[in-house]
Chains A and B, each alone.
Chain A
Amino acid sequence: QKEVEQDPGPLSVPEGAIVSLNCTYSNSAFQYFMWYRQYSRKGPELLMYTYSSGNKEDGRFTAQVDKSSKYISLFIRDSQPSDSATYLCAARTGYQKVTFGTGTKLQVIP
């Protein structure tokens, strides 16, 4: 079992929709949670990170962590075609190495 699981998609939504991307994890020691965006044939870029449970908002993006259910979410409001990419969730314990999910491919249709 992978420590961080993601549905690979693809997820197709119309422009302007609210997108919900989700991950589950199994290691209860994870404390830091990250979301990366990766465009085709590019390196991943960090979108947001959160510590422990709770929400964090940055523009159209909201990251949410529910440690009781081991669930990580990324919400994108007013989705744009430029949001079309693969989204990777990631987690780590303390100062240990980062564990990545396999990524969910998102397509926003104009």
Chain B
Amino acid sequence: DAGITQSPRHKVTETGTPVTLRCHQTENHRYMYWYRQDPGHGLRLIHYSYGVKDTDKGEVSDGYSVSRSKTEDFLLTLESATSSQTSVYFCAISPRDRKKAYNEQFFGPGTRLTVL
């Protein structure tokens, strides 16, 4: 998994509670991404980061926030979880090589989140 870990791997929570998912990488990659994957929708980008404290929104960012205070960690927060946020969440990274930055994305193992 290109040195990417995600925690927790599974989580069940209740509607209205805050949830934070963590993505950790060991290879000093600049670009990091958070996706969600749902049946019928495929992978959709939530937020991405192009450096420490540099983040931007993806196509489904409502209800999510992110932070990146260190190169190796990219956090995804659901401020007040809803049942529609039940999904599998994947973190991805892109290598520093500018020619390859947007071609190659390496994905983490995923976090299965259930919001009751």
Contacts and interface: CB of A to CB of B under 8 A. Distances in A.
Interface of A: 6, 8, 32, 34, 41-46, 49, 88, 92, 95-98, 100-103
B109 interface: yes
A63 B42 CA distance: 20
B48 interface: yes
Q: Is the interface of B mostly helix, strand, loop or mixed?
A: loop
Contact of A98 (B90, B105, B109): B105
Given A46-B105, A46-B106, A101-B42, 16 more contacts: A8-B40, A32-B102, A32-B103, A34-B103, A43-B1, A43-B90, A43-B107, A44-B43, A46-B104, A49-B104, A88-B43, A92-B102, A95-B101, A95-B102, A97-B58, A100-B44
Contacts of B103: 32, 34, 49
A101 B37 CA distance: 11
Given A41-B110, A42-B109, A43-B1, A98 B102 contact: yes
A20 B40 CA distance: 21
A102 B41 contact: yes
User: Interface range on chain B: under 10, 10 to 19, 20 to 34, or 35 or more?
Assistant: 20 to 34
B42 A102 contact: yes
A45 B59 CA distance: 22
Given A32-B102, A32-B103, A92-B102, A97 B45 contact: yes
A49 B23 CA distance: 25
Given A88-B42, A97-B45, A42 B104 contact: no
A86 B5 CA distance: 22
Nearest to A96: B102
A81 to B, nearest CB: 22
A43 B109 contact: yes
Nearest to A34: B103
B52 to A, nearest CB: 20
